[in-house]
Amino acid sequence: MGDATRSKGLSGKAGGCSATSEQSRRVDWLMPEDKAQELQSVLQRLADIDRRSRAQESLVPATVIKEEDWQGLAFVLDGVKVIAAMNEIRELLPYPESVTRVPGTKNWMLGLANIRGELLPIVDLQLFIGGGAISVNEQSRVLVIRNQGTSTGLLVSSVIGMRHLPVSKKMTDAHFEGSLGRYVYDVFGLEDGVWPVFSMAALANDEHFMAAAL
């Protein structure tokens, strides 16, 4: 009875670790009294450590806030490296093997291509903004955008790839001059240079872009 009373005095709960009276009774029956007391002391210390650890965790924020990244696809337009938001680009394609010219359209409207059963208008984006016509080669790509249920393919001379830009690097009150100016609303300043953000939404809503007919 004396051993049972002593082990009750050592019982206690601390977080996920505790030295219970049942544990103490098992310890007393399986080993000598001095060894049992030593093990019970170790269990109690572990319980104390666990309790302090849990108390310390409550002082640490549950999540660590990371700097937000802006995702975009970088490409070359009229000799300028620009980037467009990934959520504005539906698909990236090589230049179609067959593009059928549509009579009565402007020179930047290259024609229609059959992409998986869907007729896709192909626009020379560089020619549209006032640059020279793109000479199609292996590096040429078509960026597919979608606006109001209609898809359009934009021919660009080359694609650099996806970029993750820190939002903190966005330049405030930045203005971009030239033919790209009307489609650039944001600019990122990075170690490798300035990256204007080409707005596909602004392009799709441009009345000149929507008027492909002569």
Task: Provide the residue count of the chain.
Answer: 214
Select from 31, 148, 21, 137 the least CA-distant residue to 76: 137
CA 137 – CA 157 distance, rounded (Å): 8
CA 144 – CA 201 distance, rounded (Å): 12
Cα-Cα-Cα-Cα dihedral sign, residues 52, 54, 58, 62: positive
pLDDT score, position 22: 52
Residue 167, amino acid: V
Within 13 Å of residue 117, how many CA atoms lie on the same side as its CB? Answer: 0
pTM summary value: 0.68
Task: Please work out, in degrees rounded to the nearest 5, the angle formed at the alpha carbon of residue 113 by the alpha carbons of 120 and 139.
Answer: 100
- Condensed to tens digits (0 to 9), the pLDDT of residues 49-92 reads 767 666 655 554 544 445 578 999 999 999 999 999 999 999 99
The DSSP string of 92-146 is EEEPPS--B--TTB-TTEEEEEEETTEEEEEEEHHHHTTSPPP---TT-EEEEEE
CA 17 – CA 36 distance, rounded (Å): 18
Task: Please work out, in degrees rounded to the nearest 5, the angle formed at the alpha carbon of residue 164 by the alpha carbons of 171 and 154.
Answer: 90
Ranges under pLDDT 70 in the chain: 1-40, 42-43, 46, 50, 52-67
Q: What Cα–Cα distance (Å) separates residue 53 from each residue in 12, 18, 48, 62, 202?
A: 17, 14, 9, 15, 54
pLDDT score, position 71: 94
**For residue 50, what are the contacts with CB-CB under 8 A and spacing of at least 6?**
14, 15, 16, 17
- Condensed to tens digits (0 to 9), the pLDDT of residues 60-70 reads 454 444 557 89
Instruction: Give the homologous superfamily in CATH for domain 69-210.
Output: CheA-289, Domain 4 (2.40.50.180)
Select from 107, 115, 106 the least CA-distant residue to 142: 115
